[in-house]
Every structure is written in C-alpha cells, then in structure tokens.
Structure 1
Amino acid sequence: MSYNNILTETLNGITTITINRPSKLNALNRETIQELHNAFDGADQSKDTKVIIVTGSGEKAFVAGADISEFADFNVEEGGKLAAKGQELLFDFVENLSTPVIAAVNGFALGGGLELAMACHFRVASTNAKMGLPEVSLGVIPGYGGTQRLPQLVGKGRAMEMVMTAGMIDANQALSYGLVNHVVEQEELLAFCEKIAGKIMRNSSVAIAEAISAINANYKDGVDGYQAEIEAFGNCFGTEDFKEGTTAFLEKRKADFPGK
C-alpha cells in the first residue's frame, strides 16, 4: 500500500513505520492518522511482522503535534468528534495491538506526538528529544488520551505540572520520570530499538499478545486486571507455543515457537 505521509519497511520480523512530513515536523493531520491506522493494522495482521517500531523522519521531530490548521475553526461538537475519532482510529488502537509497538522518539514529541508515543507499548528516546503537552497554551487540553496516559506513566503530580505549564521536558527528565525506558544517541536510536525487538522476537508472540492484553486490563475502568490475567494465563495452555516452550525447556534446548 502506498501512502502520502508515512513510510513503511518490513525486515527480519520488524516493521518500521516512519511519519514522513518533515516540512510540518511530522505533525498529525487527519490523513496521516488514517494512514497510520492502516499501516499499524496491516503490520499487526502480517505474519512477517513480530515487532513494530514507529518513528519520525529527519532529526528534529518524532511528531511535533497535531496539525492545528485543520481544527482551528471547529465548534464544540466537531472538537468532540475529532478527539473520539482519533482515539478510536489510532491511539487506543495502537495501545491494544497484539503486536509489540516501540516508539523511537527521535526529537520533538509534543501534543499528539507525545500522545502517540504514550499509546505505544514503551518508548526509547534520543538524547535530543523534547516532550510535552502544550495544548493549554492554545486554549484546549490534550484530546488523544494525554490526560489519561501521562499520569499512568509519570504520576498525577508530574502530569498535572506538565499539562498546566505546557512546558517541555528533555530526554533525561523523561527517563527519570519513567516516561521513556531508555535514552540513546540519535544515530543509535533505531539500532537500539531493533536490538530490543530482537530480544522480544525470541519469545512466544502468542504469549506476548496475551501479556499486552492483561497489562492493559489494569488501566481499564470496570475491568478486574487480576481476573484478566487469570484468563490470559489459562488461554496460553491451549496454544502450540506453550507446548513448544515447555517441551523445549524440559529438553534443555532453545524453543522454536510456531506463533500459534
């Protein structure tokens, strides 16, 4: 599939999705959000993809925010629909993918850009990365899950400060806050993410999908995360991966998971 705003490449089990709007610092417009949805969906369904890495083109920005020109004249109803559609199509969609998603944050991740990074399963930042949710400086609030995912990752107090000041934090602050897992030099960023992806791919993709679902359950209203874990744990016992993993362990050999 061809895209106007993103690039995709699949190699050795890793699909890399690159947001490619350098003149707009990779800002998210509606077309880009739709294209990202299609790319993530396609990668998730592909047998050739075991891990997804998402990043931005160039050296300045992961995603510098949403494309404000698209919604500057929206009314209340249109604004609500914009947030609802975006969350459904991309941000919630990415969070709940069964394929692991790593955000390679290679520069500015602001507004919708940080919200996209937070929707990924975890984040690795380059040393030049800057992160923030500046929406209140425009008279609006984060609408793509930022008010929910940021406190889950960094705690309520820090999230309140970041949102209310509309300020940015650097990569090392993000690391100390727990917002990113690792910080590396920009030229090492993708290789580092690919190395982590390689470690992930050694394990059962079926079990990983169940683990993602169980971990996410703890953050959903009205869902008992412990019960979700019990059910996911039980589901694993009916898989070929479980049979292969346990057999390989008992036979003292490396498992060759069929992914079923």
Structure 2
Amino acid sequence: MPTTRPNGSLYTKTEGNVAIVEFGHPAGNSLPLELLERLKNEFDALSGREDVHIIVLKSEGEKAFCAGASFNELVAVASPEEGKAFFSGFAGVINAMRKCHKLIVGRVQGKTVGGGVGLSAACDYVLATEAASVKLSELTVGIGPFVIAPAVERKMGKAALAELTLAPEQWKSAYWAKEKGLYARVFDRISELDKEVAVFTEKLASYNPEALAEMKRILWEGTSHWDELLRTRAEVSGKLVLSEFTRRALERFGK
C-alpha cells in the first residue's frame, strides 16, 4: 500500500549486489525537504558499501513517478534563507547522486514533473514506461528549474532543456524523453519494466565493481563545480519564490 505519511517514506532493500531505494509520498510521490535529506543521506551511505555494486531508484505505486517538490512547503517559504534551504534539498540529492561511487539506475513508471525530472536526469541509466511523460512547470509560478537545469542539460542538451522549460504547461512523451537521452528504454507496461530492471541490474552488478566505479567517474567528468553551482541556483530560486508574481501564482494553484 502507498504511504500515508505526511513526510513521505523511504525504504532500501538489497537483492544480491543491487540496492533498491524506494521513496513515496501521498501527494504524487512529491518530495518534501525531510524526504530529500533522507534520500541524500541514503545515497551517501550506499556509496561506501562494498556489498552494493548498483543502486536502483524507484518510487511507490503505479501512477506518478515524482510530482517534484512539496507544494505545501513551497507555499510556506517566508524568507530568502528559507527559500534557499527549500531549493537546496534537490541540490543536495543531485550532488549526492553525482558523487555516489555506484551507478544509479532509475525505474520511472509514470509522469514526472519539475524536480522529479531532475532526479531522473541525475540517474546514470533510466528505464521507463510509456506513461512516463515529463514536464518542467516552474515558469508557470514565476520561478525556474534552476537547480535541476545542470542535470537536465547534461543528460538531454540545452535545446531540450529550453523546449521543456519554455513550454511549462506542455507534457512531453516518454518517447520524446528517450529520443533526447533522458530514458534509455521505454516499455509498454510496468510488468515489462520491472522484469527488465531486474535482469539489467543483476547483469550490471556482475561486472567488475572497480570498472563500474571508474565508468561512473567518467560519466560525471566536468561537474566538480556543481556543489557551488547548485547552491547558487538554490539561492536564486529562494529569492524568486518570494516575488509578488510567484505569491499570486501559488495562491491560484492552491485554490
């Protein structure tokens, strides 16, 4: 059963040399700050485990993969400091995924919005269903996907980032996301997705762990400045969320 906990849930189980990290939240698997912190800490912990060769990132249920940041927490931001802390949640997770010594395979079963797209982009390889359409809706409320943009651009390119960002009310299909490089493979049904995730990660985990770690390092070359970059982006977002435009937009969305 999907979680009913207001701060969400996070569970990790290990099958052979594969660690499966599953997060959940009753609001479309959105990510409040507490859950983002737990995700960050989990990636940090798994990075150092010798028995773990591969990590799978998934979310609960059969509908949305991730609805992005917590709307309630976004509305509650009352100062630039609180705003920076709020947006730093995704910065922390993306940087933890980037620096994790283990390759991360994303299992995306449904729609993903905003920060959820950033989470997918920070995975090293993503398997998805045809229901896994994507959208970056931030401009509709007067902010932008500034924190996650480096991860999205790295995976999909600046043109795809612009296409998503500047059409913030438009869903892009899973096949579009595959064509742009976000997803490696797309499946018709969740049952097919789960079967392939199990087969693919078991095979991947059988390879030399030192070679896997080196491949991870190569994939993320040129991103060592992201700690500072994403903090700066979080500060920009934290200020914008207090603008009159954004306050009015959030009130409309909350009705």
TM-score range, shorter chain: 0.7 to 0.9
Q: Name 1:194's counterpart in structure 2.
A: 198
Asked whether the 8 Å contact 2:106–2:126 carries over to 1, the reply is: yes
* Structure 2 unaligned regions, length at least 5: 1-6, 227-255
For the pair 1:26 / 2:29, whether they are aligned, the reply is yes
For the pair 1:41 / 2:29, whether they are aligned, the reply is no
Q: 1:118, CA displacement in angstroms?
A: 0.8
TM-superposition CA deviations, 1:2-42 (whole Å, max 9, x none):
x9511221111111111122x21110001111221232223
1:163 aligns with one of 155, 162, 165: 165
Q: Name 2:250's counterpart in structure 1.
A: none
Asked whether the 8 Å contact 1:20–1:26 carries over to 2, the reply is: yes
Quick one: structure 1 residues 56 and 85, their matched pair in 2 at CA, closer, same or farther if it must change by over 3 Å?
closer
Q: 1:112, CA displacement in angstroms?
A: 1.0
Aligned-partner Cα distance in 1 for 2:22–2:62: 12
Aligned-partner Cα distance in 1 for 2:191–2:132: 13
Letter in 2 for 1:119: A
**2:161 alignment partner, SS class:** helix
Q: 1:195, CA displacement in angstroms?
A: 1.6
Aligned length: 217
- 1:92-241 maps to which residues of 2 (within 5 A)? 92-145=95-148, 147-166=149-168, 167-184=170-187, 185-220=189-224
Asked whether the 8 Å contact 2:90–2:115 carries over to 1, the reply is: no
Letter in 1 for 2:186: V
Letter in 2 for 1:174: A
Asked whether the 8 Å contact 2:120–2:182 carries over to 1, the reply is: no
Quick one: structure 1 residues 66 and 204, their matched pair in 2 at CA, closer, same or farther if it must change by over 3 Å?
same
**2:220 alignment partner, SS class:** helix
107-116 or 186-195, larger mean C-alpha shift: 186-195
Aligned-partner Cα distance in 2 for 1:26–1:81: 20
Quick one: structure 1 residues 60 and 85, their matched pair in 2 at CA, closer, same or farther if it must change by over 3 Å?
closer
Q: TM-score, normalised by structure 2?
A: 0.78
Aligned-partner Cα distance in 1 for 2:159–2:103: 29
- CA RMSD between the two structures: 2.0
* Structure 1 unaligned regions, length at least 5: 223-260
Letter in 2 for 1:193: V
Q: 1:143, CA displacement in angstroms?
A: 4.0
Asked whether the 8 Å contact 1:91–1:144 carries over to 2, the reply is: no
- Percent of aligned pairs sharing the same letter: 24
**1:211 alignment partner, SS class:** helix
Letter in 2 for 1:150: V
Aligned-partner Cα distance in 2 for 1:40–1:218: 21
Asked whether the 8 Å contact 2:48–2:101 carries over to 1, the reply is: no
Asked whether the 8 Å contact 1:5–1:35 carries over to 2, the reply is: no
* Higher CA-based Rg: 1
Aligned-partner Cα distance in 1 for 2:222–2:158: 17
TM-superposition CA deviations, 1:125-162 (whole Å, max 9, x none):
112111121111111111432x2222222222221121
105-114 or 76-85, larger mean C-alpha shift: 76-85
Q: Name 2:84's counterpart in structure 1.
A: 80
**2:166 alignment partner, SS class:** helix
1:53 aligns with one of 56, 59, 64: 56
Aligned-partner Cα distance in 1 for 2:23–2:225: 32
Task: Point out 4+ residue stretches in structure 1 off by more than 6 angstroms.
Answer: none
**1:103 alignment partner, SS class:** strand
* Higher RCO by CA contacts (8 Å cutoff, separation 6 or greater): 2
Q: TM-score, normalised by structure 1?
A: 0.77
Asked whether the 8 Å contact 1:124–1:181 carries over to 2, the reply is: yes
Asked whether the 8 Å contact 1:128–1:186 carries over to 2, the reply is: no
TM-superposition CA deviations, 1:191-247 (whole Å, max 9, x none):
21222212222221112212211221134569xxxxxxxxxxxxxxxxxxxxxxxxx
